[in-house]
Structure 1
Amino acid sequence: MPKHAAAAKVATGTNRKIRRANAALPMSDNPEGLSEAPTNTLFGQPASANAATGQKRPRAAATTDHAPLKVKRKQRAAAPKADPAASLQVKASSLQSKKRDVPSGGSSAVTSTKLVRPHAEVVERSTKIWEKLRTDKTSDAERTQLVDEVLQLFEGKEFEVLQKHDAARVMQSCFKQGESSQRDALMRGLKGQLFKLALSHYGHFLLLSIVRHGSAAHKQQLMTELKGHVAELFVHAEGSAVLQLMYTDVASTSQKHAMYRELWGIEFGMLQSASAQGEAKTLKALFESEPLAKPRVFKRMEILLSKAARKGLSSTALHQRAMAELIEYGDHDQRTELVSVARDSAVHIMHTRDGARVACGCVRHGDAKDRKAVLKAMKDHVSDAAQDPYGVLVLCTALAAVDDTVLLNKALLAELRPKLLEIATHAHAKLTLLQVLAPFSTRYFTAEQLAVIGEVDPRVSKKAPEQRRLELLVHLLPPLCDLCSANAVALACSPHGGAVFFETANAACDGATNAAEGRTRMLDALASKATEMVSAYGEDDSGRTPLLTHPIAARLFKRLAQKHPEFALGLLSRMRSKLLDWVKQGAAWVVLALLESPATAAKVRKHLLPSVAEIEASSAQGCRSLLASLKGLK
């Protein structure tokens, strides 16, 4: 019979015996057949006499043979009194302390030190030397000797010890204070490992020291070893710092283009210059030569830029250049996505050329929400941005592209109004006013500045440019007219303030601005100061001259006389009695402008024709041109 069949037969017999025993039990208070009824049972009160006396019954045995059964319960493992890792660490520390007691000549002590901290002895000796090396009391000869000692200690293991903080500090000091031969020896020891060193947390500081204090050969060695790894350094926290300094302080123009091309893809960065793609300096040139490359280049650069932005590396020059070109040459959908990413950091990078290109692109191509975010980020800093050579271009772009003129008035113009005199006489800040008074005028904006500002995108800027300008002039012209009336002399003597004065007078001529009264007031104020004595050279009182003959103010008088007949009449009325004297004193250019103005030409000609001989004999500036004009009118 099989074993499992025998086991089943035994189990069946056992079950039958249990059923017979249960049937033979009488109905009682102890149905389980215990030797003693329990003190508390689910079947009612106990029927024994002990219940009446209140005595406790002993617990019944849980076995049929009246012998108590010892139940073996599974015991839990006791919780450790300490962390196993901590206990191991304590054991290791005690073991290490015991090994330190071994004499220094023992092999066990040396072995344990090497296991715990490689090159520990060498690094410790170098730090002691460094304490003498970095003091000002150390002589040049002693310093050279100390650098030699450190280099001998680190010979053959320069890269390994540069992974340690204290050793890296020592190496930086050696390179900075060492002689050229010592620096050359250190660079030879690191040859072929500079790229790995650029990714090191401590080692990359030596590369920064090489860029700052190294020779042209050292920098070229660094440039050569980093070639082909720009994309990896671009998104690395330490590597990006090395890349930034190399790009801004070391690389030539052609090398900058080569570094930038590596972001497009390895196939573009490593091409020879003989190739058309290798000569491409911008994405525009690349896409014109190879249109099919646009999708993959854009995808790669978007991945790199987003990864760098997540790590907080969006302020590097290469990142700004790449972002600016992506916004400029991308299609509408790509621009929209890029602007939403770049708008928050645009204000922090707009002090550089490429950073300003990014910020201007966000304002030009962003929607109302993006533009508002950029303007809101400049709150309380508009005046500072206006005085920055690139920050002012972002303000000009906002004044040219944002349709919400109420927002512009509150966010920009409201912060400029309290400082109008300072803004009007500043070389860069004046452009914010001139962008409204004379938009995109090549007389005041250079070609490079206009390229950074860019053209307004009609898909997001719906309002007509002239309508936007008139709405801004309503807020800007009244305070400007008041400024010109109260500070006519200060503005006239400033080359920047003179431009603001002239364009304010021109803008006030438009009947739609309702500023005719203010224009008359400011022109009269300047004409009344024409004969006032002012300093010819800034605040220095020496060399005072009439305002008419001031080298800068005279240009403003000439332009206003040619443009505004009422100003020419008012000015002539103050000069007529001594017109010939003014010509001899250096105001011949202003008199020539009065001669060319239709409102005053006849009166000036009548007054000066009898004095042609005296004008011809004068050596004052402008007399020859005035004389030629007078003779031509005879």
Structure 2
Amino acid sequence: MSEEKIDEQENFSEEEYSGEEEEFHTFEEEKTGDSNLSAAEKKRKYKELKESRKKHKPNYEEISKAKKLWEIARNTKVDEKERDEAMSELVSTIKGKLGDISLKRDASRIIQTCLKQGTPEQRLLIASELKGSYVSLSMNMYSKFIVTKVLNYCPSMRNDIINEFRGQIVKLIKHKDASSVIDEIFQVYANASQKLTLIEEFFGSQFIILKKIDKSLTVEKLFENEPNKRDVIMKHMGTTLQSIVNKGSLQFALVHRVLHDFLLYATPSEAKDLIEMLKEIVLAELVHTKEGMFVALCVLAQSEAKQRKSIVKGLKQHLEKILLDEFGAIFVVGVLYLMDDTVLVSKAILLDYFHKLDDFIVNENARKIILYLLC
């Protein structure tokens, strides 16, 4: 994961601070009914009330101390030795309390900084203390970033963390916060064997049980050797994927891979309901991965003229991003090949393409369109 992405995660809640303060201020003003107070008095009263409430919260003293140390530890203008000392004291302050404080917004950001700037020993101390709680952490809008930080900075812990998620992948990929963690595990941190394990959870409990008996079992081998089990597994996959589409979790690479595998094994009648659902969504969410691009082209190929028109029109606002993407550009070539409506293609794709041809022609992905047209 890039440093830029990590920094974005660490500072993700700056806007939320001002929004919460404004909301809290309004609430306190309405509650006290002190409409005659001056703005300065209201602000002072608000701060007093806020501080009073905080003091009654668990670990208040530790978090207050940690915040002061955090400001020093992350300040690059401070002497390196002083920052190191602050980091050491900071880790000692929060040690033993990580499970209690990690779900809080401020504390979550402090822990993320410790993982980013701490020594390998300090990072491992934090990661080890949180062991066993990574699933619950991933389901929180603040602490989910702690999980991805540990995965990034503590490679020795990755296998243990990934194992904590086993058996819960289907549920978590539909969760608004945990889904991004699961997909990052799939794309960035899981090895080939672990990726396969994540995918196989979508095949259902029957396959998982059989896999425990025969470690070398694949879904292809099962369908070939025991075709009577095929219908149950395909029905389970279809129902699960429809639920995922309904939840709006279609942007994830893991979902693209499972959709790809389902369409690869499915008969036209088995795929019909899912294909119909996919026709109603913006396919731009799919085309940034190889498997997603395959799924999007399958949907387009099985759509009627009116549906194709709607699908292509839906791409227009995302066109430049799609054209610059490796698999997005291949998808556009597929659209040009499949579409009979040349007027629509010209308006929805080619007009914008040729308008920025000088930019697109120097991009290795976007130039595929002009090369296709010249063939």
With the shorter chain as reference, the TM-score category is 0.7 to 0.9
Change beyond 3 A, Cα 1:220–1:139: farther
Unaligned 5+ segments in structure 2 are 1-27, 33-44
* Other-structure match for 1:253: 192
| Structure 1 counterpart of 2:144 | 204
Q: Deviations over 1:2-51 (max 9, x none)?
A: xxxxxxxxxxxxxxxxxxxxxxxxxxxxxxxxxxxxxxxxxxxxxxxxxx
Structure with bigger helix share is 2
Pairing 1:378–2:315 present: yes
Deviating more after overlay: 293-302 vs 160-169 = 293-302
Partner of 1:54: none
Q: Mapping of 1:61-460 within 5 angstroms?
A: 116-212=56-152, 214-269=153-208, 272=211, 275=214, 278-280=216-218, 284=220, 286-343=222-279, 344-379=281-316, 385-416=322-353, 427-429=364-366, 431-432=368-369, 435=372
- With over 3 angstroms needed to count, the CA separation of the structure-2 counterparts of 1:385 and 1:172, relative to structure 1, is closer
Residue 339 of structure 1: how far off its partner (Å) = 2.6
Count of aligned positions: 328
Amino acid at match of 1:298: M
Aligned partner of 1:197: which letter?
L
Q: Is the 8 A contact 2:207 2:233 kept in 1?
A: no
Deviations 1:361-387 (A, max 9, x none): 111122223311221122366566445
SS in 2 for 1:263: helix
Shift of 1:406: 4.6
Classify the secondary structure of the residue corresponding to 1:379.
Answer: helix
Structure 1 pair 414–211 and aligned structure 2 pair: CA distance change class (3 A): same
2:36 matched residue in structure 1: none
Structure with larger Rg:
1
Instruction: Show the counterpart of 1:582.
Output: none
Q: Give the 5 Å matches for 1:471-486.
A: none
Distance 1:120 1:216 in 2: 32
Alpha-carbon deviation of 1:113?
7.5
Change (3 A) 1:294 1:248: same
CA drift at 1:296: 3.1
Aligned counterparts of 1:421 and 1:124: Cα–Cα separation in 2: 55
Correspondences of 1:561-600 after superposition (within 5 Å): none
Using structure 1 for the length normalisation, give the TM-score: 0.46
Deviations 1:422-481 (A, max 9, x none): 777864445445656xxxxxxxxxxxxxxxxxxxxxxxxxxxxxxxxxxxxxxxxxxxxx
Identity of aligned residues (%): 26
The Cα of 1:165 is off from its aligned counterpart by 0.9
Distance 1:411-1:166 versus aligned 2 partners, 3 A rule: closer
Distance 1:362-1:138 versus aligned 2 partners, 3 A rule:
same
Compare relative contact order (CA 8 Å, sep 6+) and give the higher one, 1 or 2: 2
Structure 1 gaps of 5+ residues are 1-85, 91-96, 101-108, 437-499, 504-634
Q: RMSD across aligned C-alpha pairs, in angstroms? A: 3.3
CA distance in 1, matches of 2:158, 2:174: 22
